[in-house]
Amino acid sequence: MTSPLLPVPADRRPLPALRTAPLPPQVRQPTKPGLALVRPKRRRPIWPAVLGALVAGNLALYVVTVVQEAGLNRQQADIYTMRQHNLRLRAELARVESPDRVEDQAVQRLNMARPSSALFLPAPPSDGRRIARLPAPSFGVSEAY
Q: What is the pLDDT of residues 120-132, one digit of tens each?
A: 777 777 765 555 6
Q: What is the pLDDT of residues 46-86, one digit of tens each?
A: 999 999 999 999 999 999 999 999 999 999 999 999 999 99
In the chain, where the domains are located: 60-112
**Cα–Cα distance, 57 to 51 (Å, whole number):** 10
Cα dihedral 100, 101, 104, 106 in deg (nearest 10): -110
**Cα–Cα distance, 127 to 8 (Å, whole number):** 146
DSSP 71-111: HHHHHHHHHHHHHHHHHHHHHHHHHHT-HHHHHHHHHHHS-
pLDDT for 42 equals: 82
